[in-house]
Chain A
Amino acid sequence: MFRILILFLIFFTLSSCSSPEGTWGWYVIDPSTKAGWTNIKFLVGGFYSTILLSIIAAFLSIFIGLVVALPAMSDNKLLQLFNRVYVEFIRSIPLLPMLFWVFYGLPVILKSMGINANIDAFWGAIITLAISDSAFTAEIYRAGIQSISKGQTEAAKTIGLNYYQTMRYVIMPQALRRILPPLANQFIYIVKMSAFASVIGMQELTRRANEIVVTEYRPLEIYTLLIFEYLILVLLISFGVRYLEKKLGSNESANS
């Protein structure tokens, strides 16, 4: 595998050397030149939107996911059906069509209902990411909560706790340790999927990279930098989650 990679790299470098342009063009993002520095500042400026977009979408998804997951555990068949329909339907929609639908389609629906809402690229992307992701977080919650034995709920009942108290003090603290790792995974997924927001004009990391590529004709160098920008973000999240896991004790094996 490693050898193939090296071969590929050599081939790649050589072929780029013999291309009409002749050489690599790292000058487009060379911080020692004024033009290069301007480009870097522009590209890195996308961090703000990507991070804000991802965090808001993730929070909404965590909330919606819980609201969708809890009915799955009720005895009410209708509530269970709601959960199933939501999860199956939402997770079957590819992100890109959903983004188009929310951005171009939702305002039309709202208008027909008499609501004059203008959904900008930022909120269009957030709504799409949050809803699309919530189907997955809902399944994560369900798996986590159902992994807690029924005896815990029964014991809570016999000491007089109501549904909310049982969830809050007995089930969720135990489920959370099991839910956190897959939930962090979903957050990383959101950060990466936020790149789709570029197609509706959201000025985040990927959009900015595209814009520089169009003016500089240097896709290889700029997209390489873009990849490293996402890498940094994801590594930061990973470290943060590690820390949280340690605090919550998710890394200890469950013993119940």
Chain B
Amino acid sequence: MENTFAVEIEGLTKSFKDFKALDTIDLNIKHGEKVVICGPSGSGKSTLIRCINGLEDFDEGKISISGNTQNPKKESYVSDFHIGMVFQQFNLFPHLSVIENLKLGPMKSLGLSEKDAETRARGLLERVKIPEQALKKPNQLSGGQQQRVAIARALCMEPKLMLFDEPTSALDPEMISEVLEVIVDLAREGMTMVVVTHEMGFAKKVADRIIFMDGGSIVEQNSPGMFFKNPQTARCKKFLNQILHH
């Protein structure tokens, strides 16, 4: 049963003690859609995508993933509609080699045989352009390579939706493009994705829709063309000024 929306969010609200991180968010994401979320720090961008894959629980509202409503309490879910996640800090497993990092999920969670997992992992390393690093430990790689391994690790689970939480913010400037290229390729292949990023060039290139968040709310959303040319709100104009003319 295919649902038109990959993600449906209704009235999502979450507080950390007195601080309202998310304030009645409504958001629908279509299958195959590429959404970029931007906004000042503390605006709730990360919290929003962490709610989508169950890393954070939430107080009120409803999240449906491909038609299945999720429990507001913290639950991670592997289903036919698996959600992959790439973190700002990579979060690779330092005690495992690159290939073992990739194989762990498919073998333990999906129950693939060692051989099948190996084939799948090798294929993905090829795709993120670092097949020769398979046997190295993560700390022997550059930041950009580590993040590409992290992307491959997420793809190993064959997700239908990929979440990126500021995937290039922890990288040295010269390594940003090699990571973005991989994400752009992924977008071209039709992956549904939500990317939290400040890379506006990237947003222009791949996004179907750009969402601007501030203070836990979605302030503005538009197609990239309209978003950059004609921001509707003062807050968004100010943010774009700061980020584009620094």
Interface residues, chain A, with chain B CB atoms under 8 Å away? 75, 149, 151-152, 154-162, 165, 169-170, 173-174, 254-256
Stretch at the interface among B62-70, B82-90, B208-216, B223-231: B82-90
Given A160-B76, A160-B78, A255-B139, residue A155 in contact with residue B93 (CB < 8 A):
yes
Given A165-B108, A169-B108, A255-B139, residue A159 in contact with residue B154 (CB < 8 A):
yes
Query: Number of B residues whose C-beta is below 8 Å from A?
Result: 28
* Nearest chain B residue, comparing its CB with the CB of A173: B95
Report whether B109 and A159 are in contact in the complex, using a CB–CB cutoff of 8 Å: yes
Report whether B94 and A151 are in contact in the complex, using a CB–CB cutoff of 8 Å: no
Report whether B110 and A160 are in contact in the complex, using a CB–CB cutoff of 8 Å: yes
Which residues between 64 and 106 of chain B lie within 8 Å of chain A, taking CB atoms? 74, 76, 78, 82-85, 87, 89, 91-95, 104-105
* Nearest chain B residue, comparing its CB with the CB of A248: B95
Inside 8 A of A159's CB, which chain B residues have their CB? 104-105, 109, 153-154, 156-157
Report whether A154 and B87 are in contact in the complex, using a CB–CB cutoff of 8 Å: yes
Inside 8 A of A162's CB, which chain B residues have their CB? 109
Inside 8 A of A160's CB, which chain B residues have their CB? 76, 78, 82, 105, 108-110, 157
Inside 8 A of B85's CB, which chain A residues have their CB? 154-155, 158
Inside 8 A of B154's CB, which chain A residues have their CB? 158-159
Report whether A174 and B94 are in contact in the complex, using a CB–CB cutoff of 8 Å: yes
A157 to B150, CA, bound (A): 14
Inside 8 A of A154's CB, which chain B residues have their CB? 55, 85, 87, 91
Report whether A255 and B94 are in contact in the complex, using a CB–CB cutoff of 8 Å: yes
* Nearest chain B residue, comparing its CB with the CB of A150: B91
A173 to B156, CA, bound (A): 22
Is the contact region of chain A dominated by helix, strand, or loop, or is it mixed? helix
Is the contact region of chain B dominated by helix, strand, or loop, or is it mixed? loop
A174: shortest Cβ distance to chain B, in Å?
A: 5
Q: Most chain-A CB neighbours within 10 Å: which of B83, B84, B109, B154?
A: B109
Inside 8 A of A174's CB, which chain B residues have their CB? 93-95
Report whether A256 and B105 are in contact in the complex, using a CB–CB cutoff of 8 Å: no
Nearest 3 A/B pairs, CB to CB: A159-B105, A160-B109, A160-B78
Is B192's CB within 8 Å of the partner chain A? no
A/B interface sample: 13 pairs, CB < 8 A: A75-B74, A154-B91, A155-B87, A155-B93, A157-B54, A158-B76, A158-B84, A159-B156, A160-B109, A161-B104, A161-B109, A165-B108, A174-B94
Inside 8 A of A254's CB, which chain B residues have their CB? 94
Inside 8 A of B110's CB, which chain A residues have their CB? 160
Given A158-B154, A159-B157, residue A170 in contact with residue B93 (CB < 8 A):
yes
Given A158-B76, A159-B154, residue A151 in contact with residue B87 (CB < 8 A):
yes
Inside 8 A of A170's CB, which chain B residues have their CB? 93, 104
Inside 8 A of B95's CB, which chain A residues have their CB? 173-174
Inside 8 A of B93's CB, which chain A residues have their CB? 152, 155-156, 170, 174
A157 to B50, CA, bound (A): 12
Inside 8 A of B54's CB, which chain A residues have their CB? 157
Inside 8 A of A151's CB, which chain B residues have their CB? 87, 89, 91
A103 to B83, CA, bound (A): 56
Which residues between 25 and 81 of chain B lie within 8 Å of chain A, taking CB atoms? 53-55, 74, 76, 78
> Digit string of B145-187 for contact with A (CB within 8 Å is 1, else 0)?
0000010011011000000000000000000000000000000
Inside 8 A of B87's CB, which chain A residues have their CB? 151, 154-155
